[in-house]
Amino acid sequence: MSSILEMRNRHFFIFDILVLLSIPGLALTLRLDRLDWWPHFGQALIFFTIVALLIKVPLFYHQDLYRRYWRYASVNDLTRVLIAVGLSTTVLTVVFGGAQASLARYGLASPRSLPLLDGMLTCLIVGGSRLGLRGLYDWYRQHQDVVGGRRVLVVGAGEAGTLVVREMRANPQLDMEPVAFVDDDPAKVGTCIQGLPVLGTTQHILELVDRDQIQQIIVAMPSAPLGRQQEIMAMCEQTGVATYSLPGIYELLAGHKTISRLPQVDINHLLHREPVEIDPTEVAAYLAGATVLVTGAGGSIGSELCRQIARFDPGELILLGHGENSIFEIGLDLQLSLPNLVTHQVIVDVRDQQRVNWVIEKYRPDVIFHAAAHKHLAFMEANVEEAITNNVLGTQNILWAAEQHGVERFVLISTDKAVNPTSIMGATKRLAELLVLAAAQRSGQAYMAVRFGNVLGSRGSVIPIFQRQIAAGGPLTITHPDMRRYFMTIPEAVQLVLHASELGQGGEIFVLDMGQPVRILDLATELIKLSGLEPGRDIKIVYTGIRPGEKLDEELFLEEEDCRCTKCPKIFVATHESTVEAEMLEQVVVELINLTRQMQSQNATEQMWVLLPKVCYYLDNYQPRPQPLPPEPTVLDRQPVFVEPRLEGKPAVVTVSAG
């Protein structure tokens, strides 16, 4: 089979020569309806065959019949065959018809209808061989479908729909199995196109998805009016199945639509587990009618928090952020999707205590979700002042204003990097957790923190970076082949944050169940494959080495924390037996902020030498009674300080090497 499909033009040339030598004899047999014609027409047949061959082959070349890739033959290609055969038949008919009398004198005359019969047979055999190869190729592809691939329903049985089916069959690596069509044209219902049945109209989509276990829907109706396309997309989205809309080729060529160079993949495939889903009833009960403030509302987590909170019909939703563009975007998004929702967009830097206090005093929120933070570990290692002032001072300002104005619930979005931190970012998030715990025990309010790991698809996270590297042709950069991380999708992370916020009574740190940690190398390899490429051949993977502050594996709990289950099986709560010494904590924060500002003229490395040991020292030694801080290393001495990662819950070891 494969050898036939690999036929090239040289094979067709040899085939045509053999056919063209045989067809005149077959035509003469059909004309005379007998086989004993050789004594009377032998010489005439040989003469006709030679002349026909000399006329047909040049015309076939002129019509480019030997410069085509016949596996992908189209109607246009077959038209070329008809033109070439028609021209040769016309020439032969004129030549032999006009010279019939002269040829008869030499015994070379053949029946006048021979050129016409010869032309018909030539068209049938030459054209049929090309069309047969195309048909054989389509049959072969159809029977090479990947068994067990994602079952796909194609909406639209026109040109775009058939193109989609052909591509799925031509590329088994897509792992997609076309199952059926639906189409708005009732005349197509009950027919077969590309070997697939048209099972109904678009009104039957929901029924067919359930009945035929459809896993993906592709809408291929680019010529339909925009309003109709939106109606169909809405119907498909009601099924809960992944739905994609195919733009028309003409729209792409005209520039009306574009295709992103970034590979688009279903992020849920990278989790290696089922996404978490929780009954939102209890969350809806406490958020309905409440005034909710979200800091960092323009970020990946903050914006998704706003979207999910908005569905629970809050009284007012305050979107607080430092970046005007991102706040504008999430505000516009909410206005378009929920026009009756009352929102307030506020541009505030959480480090500005007066502005923070003004906002909370003005709107009097019932609940605050504090998602504003600098989160990029390596970036914060080079911007220590930003990490400390934003993550620590910003959290302190929000908490102070919340306490002053009686905010009932406060939820800090934290990270697993806050557990036994070895980086500035992780250390500042741990300090933020302690500030929340201190505020909870001081105020008696339901102030809590929620820890989770890396978020798939968030801005600046590993997936968007890998996608851009793949779009650029690689390589994908990984720090270490054994690097592992916990992962969640943005929607499930926010869903669990909201549920944890309802569970908290005050002073808890909630930890979300993220399954088993995933190797970054495995994630990169799978993403390359899901993009239709092959690791190592199409996209290379290179190792850059562990960056300062990074660990091979993250932890979820401190050794001294007591981990308990909650009524939600996907949420754990970590509690600590001792209480936080609030005054000491505030004193340390003030000293860190002052020291940070004093060191503005120093470079990031020098700031790290001083600040990271101080932060880690406090985190390892906070007790009800204050303890003296270690002596400050002198920057002028240029003595590098290294913080070794903690092992088995032991405190970080701060070592100073002699200059």
The verdict on residue 614 lying in a domain is: yes
Contact 232, 243 (CB under 8 A): no
| Per-residue pLDDT tens over the stretch 67-91 | 665 555 666 777 878 888 888 888 8
How far is residue 525's CA from residue 465's CA, in Å, rounded to a whole number? 14
Q: Do 192 and 162 touch, CB atoms closer than 8 A?
A: no
Amino acid (one-letter) located at 601: S
Task: Tell me if 270 is assigned to some domain.
Answer: no
Closest CA to 617 of 588, 575, 577, 656: 588
Among 153, 151, 159, 148, residue whose Cα is nearest residue 182: 153
520 and 631 inside one domain: no
CATH of the domain at 184: 3.40.50.720
CA dihedral 510, 516, 518, 522 (to 10 degrees): -160
**Residue 655: beta bridge partners?**
642
**Is there a contact between 489 and 455 (Cβ–Cβ < 8 Å)?**
yes
Q: Which residues contact 25 (CB under 8 A, 6 or more apart)?
A: 45, 49
Boundary-marking domain end, from 582, 609, 634: 582
Segments in 239-369 forming alpha helices (H): 249-254, 281-287, 300-310, 324-337, 353-363
Closest to 312 (Cα-Cα) out of 502, 457, 451: 502
Same domain (yes/no): 572, 554: yes
Cβ(310)–Cβ(341) under 8 Å?
yes
Question: Looking at the structure, do residues 174 and 103 belong to the same domain, yes or no?
Answer: no
Return the structure tokens found at 619. 């985190």
Judge contact between 210 and 190, C-beta under 8 A: no
Shared domain check, 520 and 610: no
Domain assignment of residue 318, yes or no? yes
- Specify the pLDDT at position 310: 92
Quote the CA–CA distance of 68 and 73 in Å, as a whole number.
8
Buried b (16+ CB within 10 A) or exposed e, 34-59: eeebeeebeebbebbbebbbebbbeb
CA angle 397–402–405, rounded 5-degree value: 125
The radius of gyration of the chain from alpha carbons, rounded to an integer in Å, stands at 37
* Alpha-carbon gap, residue 463 to 530, rounded angstroms: 12
Q: Is residue 271 part of a domain?
A: no
- Whether 112 is covered by a domain: the verdict is yes
* 397 and 501 part of one domain: yes
Residues 563 and 449 in one domain: yes
* pLDDT for 6: 59
The region, left, alpha or beta by phi > 0 then psi within -120 to 50, assigned to residue 507 is left
Query: What pLDDT sits at residue 74?
Result: 62
- Residues with catalytic function: 417
> Helix axis angle, 9-32 relative to 114-142, nearest 10°?
130
3-state secondary structure of 177: strand
**Contact status, residue 297 vs residue 306, Cβ threshold 8 Å:** yes
Q: Do 384 and 425 touch, CB atoms closer than 8 A? A: no
The low-confidence residues of the chain, meaning pLDDT below 70, are 1-9, 67-75, 133-148, 172-173, 248-276, 278, 457-460, 549, 552-563, 576-580, 600-659
DSSP-derived 3-state class of residue 106: coil
Domain assignment present for 267: no
User: In the prediction, which pLDDT does 642 show?
Assistant: 36
Residues 488 and 633 in one domain: no
Q: Does 188 lie in the same domain as 78?
A: no
Question: Which pLDDT does position 639 carry in this prediction?
Answer: 39
CA contacts within 13 A on the Cβ side of 508? 23
Task: For residue range 499-553, list pLDDT tens digits in order.
Answer: 888 888 888 888 887 777 778 788 888 888 877 778 888 888 888 887 776 776 6
User: Do 528 and 539 meet the contact criterion of CB atoms below 8 Å apart?
Assistant: yes
Is position 108 within any domain? Answer: yes
User: How much is the pLDDT for 412?
Assistant: 94
CA–CA separation, 286 vs 269, rounded Å? 33
**312 within 8 A of 301, measured Cβ to Cβ:** no
Residues 250 and 340 in one domain: no
Residue 528 domain flag? yes
Count up the domains in the chain and report the number: 4
- How large is the angle between the packed helices 38-62 and 9-32, nearest 10 degrees? 150
HEC-encoded secondary structure of 317-340: EEEEECCHHHHHHHHHHHHHHCCC
The parent domain of residue 381 ranges over 281-582
Are 415 and 313 in a shared domain? Answer: yes
The domain boundary residue, chosen from 582, 617, 635: 582
Last residue of a domain, one of 555, 582, 609: 582
Question: For residue 655, what are the contacts with CB-CB under 8 A and spacing of at least 6?
Answer: 641, 642, 644
Residue 196's DSSP bridge partners are: 193
Please state whether the predicted TM-score (pTM) of the whole model is above 0.75: no
Q: Tell whether 544 and 624 lie within a shared domain.
A: no
- One domain for residues 377 and 432: yes
Give the C-alpha separation, 88 to 360, whole Å.
89
**Using the 8-state DSSP alphabet, how is residue 604 labeled?**
H
